[in-house]
Amino acid sequence: MLVKNAALTTVPMTPTIGSRVEIGVDALLSGDHADEIKALLEERGVLIFPQIDLNDEQQLIFTETIGTQVDEYVGYMREDGERERIFKVSLDENVAKTAKGLQNSFFWHLDGSMQEVPIMASVLTAKKLSETGGDTEFCSTYAAYEALPEEDKQALEGLRVVHAAWALQRNADPQPSYEDFVRQRNGPSRSQPLVWKHRSGRNSLVIGATAAYIEGMDYLDSLDLLIRLRDWATQPRFVFRHKWTKGDMVMWDNTGTLHRALPYPPDAGRLMHRTVLQGEEPFA
């Protein structure tokens, strides 16, 4: 259904997730529609601003109209001691020092799953595209939970999942050296509820590639449930796939979605600029 007001038009991309937002740059940066955009983000999970082509300064201004922009999730310390406010998403190590670790972005995940309070949302602008691959997929973990049979919801009540860096790394490196394994094992980990009971009254699934095991459950039974829930949440009815055009800006609710990039060649030159919004709600 097309939704219009004087400056903003939205069109749902699928029944459960994603809306295209048509708005002028000046209206977007004014902040006059920030509350409306934030409410739409929570409702739809993913917002697409097609070919709006913001520069870095404009992207930062927009991000700060929605909430508090934070650097610590999106960059690294430069030689001058300052943090990068814009994180360059690239598989080219000459462009991004974090390029090697970005291989993990090919797996379904939410950002900050090993934090007490994850980031609220990310904003990504397409600067250069790969000729092949590189689409981004999102799934609604709200809609996935809401569609579960009642007996499954009851079975998930009270379960907790350990999210760990080593669980994420094993996807990209299933046969690490012992030295790498020890480093991965000593990385961050945190126990989180399998079902996040949000302040809004809605519930979402806390799953993805960092989910290592369910506490108090046989390991294989634990993997059985986690894989089954991942497949449930990422079935087509809960997924929106965005095929990028240069200049597109996409914003997603990190607290109610999983996302992944579809593989593309490391030398493709694909480049995205990302900002993130400080989290407002702890896992509960």
- Which structure tokens are listed for 209? 């590639």
pLDDT attached to residue 83 = 64
Assigned CATH topology for domain 68-244+254-284: Double-stranded beta-helix (3.60.130)
Amino acid at 224: D
Q: How far apart are CA 47 and CA 12, in angstroms?
A: 9
Q: How far apart are CA 83 and CA 92, in angstroms?
A: 20
pLDDT attached to residue 180 = 86
pLDDT tens, position by position, for the chain (284 residues)?
A: 445 455 899 999 999 999 999 999 999 999 999 999 999 999 999 999 999 999 999 999 999 999 999 985 444 555 665 567 898 999 887 776 666 667 789 999 999 999 999 999 999 999 999 999 999 999 999 999 999 999 999 999 999 999 998 998 888 788 989 998 898 888 899 999 999 999 999 999 999 999 999 999 999 999 999 999 999 999 999 999 999 999 999 999 999 999 999 999 989 999 999 999 999 999 99
Q: How far apart are CA 95 and CA 19, in angstroms?
A: 31
Q: How far apart are CA 219 and CA 223, in angstroms?
A: 6
For the chain, give every domain's residue range: 68-244+254-284
pLDDT attached to residue 2 = 47
